[in-house]
Chains A and B, each alone.
Chain A
Amino acid sequence: MSKNSNTTTTANGKSGTAQSAKKKSAGVNASLTREDKVLLYRDMVRIRRFEERSLHAYQQGKIGGFLHLYIGQESIAVASASLMGGHDHIITAYRDHGQALSVGMTMNECMAELYGKFTGCSKGKGGSMHFFAPDKNYWGGHGIVAGQTPLGAGIAFALKYKKLKGCCLCLLGDGAVNQGAYHESLNLAALWNLPVVYIIENNRYSMGTSQERSSAGAPLARRAESYDMDWDVVDGSSVYEIRKKLAPAMQRARDEHRPCVLEIQTYRYRGHSVADANHEKYRSKKEIEDYKQNHDPIMLFQQTLLKEGVLTDEKIDEIDREAKNEAAESAKFADESPYPPEEEIFTDVYWEVDHKTEKNQGRLFFND
């Protein structure tokens, strides 16, 4: 599958299995029903409307701290989640709203979390960067750049240890590839043949620094080569394209415990976070407009589906209206929800305290 797959697969004598994996996941887009396609489109729209609404709420002062928007990158989360089976897991960094909605978390619980409300997915304890839904195999939502990359390897390790046929999708940004933890993770994943697919969401800027100014060597995924891992670069503006390249990678991870790195080229229209005051200085407005006009994943998929006759203008309007309403409703829900009660400060710190076991002895909190 990768540009270098010939060398690596030959070197590892695995070309045969790689071929079979490819075959297995062939037609991953052809097998999509009309309903599936509408859902893929709808989920991307929902993410965008949700985030626009959250930006509005931030500016109203209802959301504090940091808010890292995913707008422009929606195709990656939606395509990834669409390929996940029962034993597949996903973990990401702090730009985590899109993945949350893609795996089926509700706008209400997500918006309420942004508002710091008790009805939020983490009871208002995590905030924007820390969404979790282990029941949906979504393991967060991690605030420190590359901090989640060893965790992703660990999830894959657990799957293999428990002999479960699944894989872990570990998402990271292009800035994370320069962190040591990422390289340590790649080494362990390759060394121990862990079923993990690292997905670099390359939006070209690590915070306010361009790829050219922060990372030596391109493409970034090529660094996997030194760990004898497969890698590839994917056009992130196309949902089909992402699915086409991700599906066989996941299949190989599941079947052969073979990790890989996929670099998905994408773009964020907003700043690194909403507090990024200079995002139109370290890049040009023209560049942003170019992506919006020519590479927007939602617009492009809309056009594709119109051509395929899956979507109509009426349906597009309806989906948009519903997504806007759902987002507005979630803001209302969040607004009306209570803040966590004060005693919640001390719950969820220790399992033992929450479960009041008999072996609970000694002091764990030191407030007086």
Chain B
Amino acid sequence: MATIIEMPKLSDTMTAGTLVKWLKKEGDSVSTGDMLAEVETDKATMELESFEDGVLLKQLVKNGAEVPVGSPVAAIGEKGEKFDPSSVKQESAPEKESEQDAPKKEQTEEARTSEKAEPREETASGEAGGSETAQEEPPSEPAPDTSRRLRISPLARKLAREKGVPVERLKGSGPGGRIVKADIQAALEQGVPADTGKDGAGRSKAPAGVPAMYAASGGTIAEEKDIPVSNMRGTIARRLLESKTQIPHYYLEVEVDAAPILAARASINASIAELPPEKGGGKLSVNDFIMKAAAEALRRVPAVNCSWADSSIKQHPAAHVSFAVAIDEGLITPVIFDAHAKTLRHISAETKDLAWKAKNKKLKPEEFTGGTFCVSNLGMFGLDRFSAIINPPNAAILAVGATRKIPVVSGNDQIEIGHRMALTLSCDHRVVDGATGAEFLATLRNLLENPALMLA
């Protein structure tokens, strides 16, 4: 049985050696300690020593070949022994081609890099459930704002974010006008200031300055600039353009009586608001009821809980209801999975948690992909109604307006104060026909106007 002699490691830094010259011919007998060949390393020319006794059966590389450490260079065996060179994996580099090799290597590396990048692209535009409005992982850092760097301390920035203080309108009292903790605290106590306090020397705690929005008009309203498109913004743009241009949207609208859910909400909140969080305490929002009702409506009308998959329509076995959250960089839609099987309080707690994570860029991809239906609520801005673009691969999206007080004619023909809320359903006509959409919306309305039905 022949022994394969490998290129030895002859120095601490050697990775390959050039076999300069064979000192033994094929057929020569060798013994331990004999020099087989001269090898040029990164340091010097050294000798390849035999640790075997026998006959040099085969030189596996030629003079001048560069051979990586550990690759075979020769076979030693007994006299007369047959040796089949093809049994040895040849790893030696071609003779003196290392220079030409270099660019090749680079190309390979480039190819590897782009290979790595590709799956990202695929997730971005690919399979069902993986293409929410903004399903790319939120970038770990916000896109740099090249226009103006707000001078604000890390502490003040954190406080402002937590308390919702619009720092752009504040003037900092720290050195160089840096906004510091005291400025945020003052803003919370006194509101965002409108006074024209001069640049206070020393340690003035009170923030000063004219907010831009109150400044006299004239001149430009904003600096002219090109705002770079972030990854997230790019994805939103691409996906929504696809949705609006490729999905045949149509819209159904209904106005529901919001009084029953307002009453239910008030009654539930009265009993749970003061409880500690671990006992399910906290306030329910109107949106929580809508999420719950939407999930229940999807359970009752599963034809809406579907996706267009070109050759088929995929019906989903569970209602994974997502909701749109506006964040600094754009929009993201975290998902309440199995919403149909969750209690109102469960949905409420999860919604709060996901919204917080979304705003703090802590959402994991699995938390904002895989929704089967989406709710978008702009009620807090006082909008009466609006229609939304479907978030593929969902077949529908529900747009929720504000709850408005309007005069209504009661059952006994009296004018009363009524609470009305407009719901607009955008549907993918390829999946959901008008009648199905209408059935879903009617069911949803029924549930919201009779919240007790959600228990049934």
Contact = CB atoms under 8 A, between A and B. Distances in A.
Interface in A40-87: 52, 56, 58-61, 64-66
Contacts of B70: 60-61
Interface in B46-67: 46, 51
B12 A65 contact: yes
B45 A275 contact: no
B294 interface: no
Contact of B43 (A59, A65, A66, A275): A275
Interface size class of A (residues with CB under 8 A): 10 to 19
B6 to A, nearest CB: 7
Given A66-B12, A275-B10, A277-B11, A61 B44 contact: no
Contacts, number: 34
Contact of B10 (A52, A64, A65, A274): A274
Contacts of B46: 277
A226 interface: no
Interface string B67-90: 001100000000000000000000
Given A56-B51, A277-B44, A64 B12 contact: yes
A360 interface: no
A59 B73 CA distance: 13
A58 B41 contact: no
A275 B69 contact: no
A58 B45 contact: no
B6 A60 contact: yes
Which applies to chain B's interface (DSSP): helix, strand, loop or mixed?
loop
Contact of B45 (A273, A274, A277): A277
B342 interface: no
A110 to B, nearest CB: 19
A208 to B, nearest CB: 11
A278 interface: yes
B9 interface: yes
Could you say which of A56, A58, A60, A277 has the most chain B C-beta atoms within 10 Å of its C-beta? A277
A179 B51 CA distance: 37
Given A60-B6, A61-B70, A275 B51 contact: no
A275 B11 contact: yes
B275 to A, nearest CB: 38
Contacts of A65: 12
Nearest to A59: B8
A277 B41 contact: yes
Contacts of B8: 58-60
Contacts of A61: 9, 69-70
Most buried by A among B6, B11, B45: B11
Interface string A10-52: 0000000000000000000000000000000000000000001
Interface string A93-132: 0000000000000000000000000000000000000000
**Which 4 interchain pairs have the tightest Cβ spacing?**
A59-B8, A277-B44, A275-B11, A277-B43
Interface of B: 6, 8-14, 41, 43-46, 51, 69-70
27 contacts: A56-B51, A58-B8, A58-B9, A59-B8, A59-B9, A59-B10, A60-B6, A60-B8, A60-B9, A60-B70, A61-B9, A61-B69, A61-B70, A65-B12, A274-B10, A274-B11, A275-B10, A275-B11, A275-B12, A275-B13, A275-B43, A277-B10, A277-B43, A277-B44, A277-B45, A277-B46, A278-B44
